[in-house]
Amino acid sequence: MFDENEIVNRILKNDLRAFELLVKQYEKLVFFVIHRLVQDRQNKEDICQEVFIKIHHSLPSFRFQSKLSTWIARIAYLTAVNHIKNIKNKSAYEYPENIDNYHFTDENPENELIKKNTSVYVNYLIEQMPLQYKTVLTLYHLNEFSLTEIKDITGIPEGTLKSYLFRARKLLKEKIEKDLKQENTWKS
C-alpha cells in the first residue's frame, strides 16, 4: 500500500526509487489536470515532467497540512495556468472577461463527426470552455476532489466554485440536448 509519509521521508533522503513510486501513484492525477487545461497537444508530457520536477524540488517545504494529492494537484494547476498565460501572450484569442456570459459557438462540420461518442464530444466541448469551468469540471468529476479541496488547489472561494460547476454542467447538458434534438429532427 502507498504510504504518503514513508514515501515523502524516503524522497527527502534522496531515494529516487521512492520518487519513481510517487510519480507512478500521481501521474494520472497530474495528466488529467494538464490534459484538460492545456491545449498544447505536443507538450503535455513535457509539462507533466516539469510538474514532477517541481514537486521534487518543493517537497522539503511540504508540511502535511493538506493531503499530498491536493498539494500535487495545486502544483499541476499552477503550472498549467502559467503555460496557458504563456500561450495566451503568443496568440490573439482570449476567453470573454465575464465568464457568466459564456456560450458555446455555433455548429461546425468537425462537431458532427465527434458527436457520435458522447464522452469524446463532452471532452471536445470542455476544451472550448473558459479555464475556470474546465478546472472545476476536471478536478470535481475526473480527479474526484471535493469542493473544499478544489478551493485549496485553486484558491477560488467554495461558493464561486459551486456556481461554476453548476453553470458548466448546465451549459454542457443544454448543448448536448440541443444537438441531440437537432440530430433527431434531421433523422425524421
Partner 1 sequence: MEELNDDELQDFLDRSIGNIEHTSGEKATADLLAYQDLFKALQTEPVQGLPLSFASNVKRKLQEGLNRKSDLRFNILAAIIVMLSLLLAYGLLQLISQATAALVLSMVVKFKWVLASVIFLFFSFLLIDQRLIKREY
Distance CA(185)–CA(58), nearest Å, equals: 56
Distance CA(83)–CA(126), nearest Å, equals: 18
- Cβ 98 to partner 1, closest distance in Å? 19
Near partner 1 by CB under 8 A: residue from 6, 20, 40, 158 = 20
Tell me the site size for partner 1, rule CB under 8 A. 36
Could you tell me the three cell numbers for 68? Answer: 499530498
177 binds partner 1 (CB under 8 A): yes
173 binds partner 1 (CB under 8 A): yes
Identity of the residue, 112 or 174, whose beta carbon is nearer to partner 1 in the bound complex: 174
48 binds partner 1 (CB under 8 A): yes
Q: Are 28 and 126 in contact (CB under 8 A)?
A: no
Near partner 1 by CB under 8 A: residue from 43, 66, 123, 128 = 123
Here's the x/- map for partner 1, 53-92, by CB under 8 A: it reads as x--x------------------------------------
DSSP state of 98: S
Task: Choose the binding region for partner 1 from 24-32, 59-67, 81-89, 94-102 (rule: CB under 8 A).
Answer: 24-32
Write the CB contacts of 120 (distance below 8 Å, at least 6 apart in sequence): 114
- Cβ 119 to partner 1, closest distance in Å? 4
- List alpha helices for 59-130, DSSP H: 68-90, 109-114, 118-128
45 binds partner 1 (CB under 8 A): yes
Span between the terminal Cα atoms of the chain, in Å: 55
122 binds partner 1 (CB under 8 A): yes
Distance CA(52)–CA(43), nearest Å, equals: 14
> 86-108 b/e with 16+ CB inside 10 Å = b?
eeeeeeeeeeeeeeeebeeeeee
Length of the chain: 188
Please report, as ranges, the residues that interact with partner 1 according to CB under 8 A: 16-17, 19-21, 23-24, 27-28, 31-32, 35-36, 45, 48-49, 52-53, 56, 118-123, 137, 141-142, 162-163, 166, 169, 172-173, 176-177
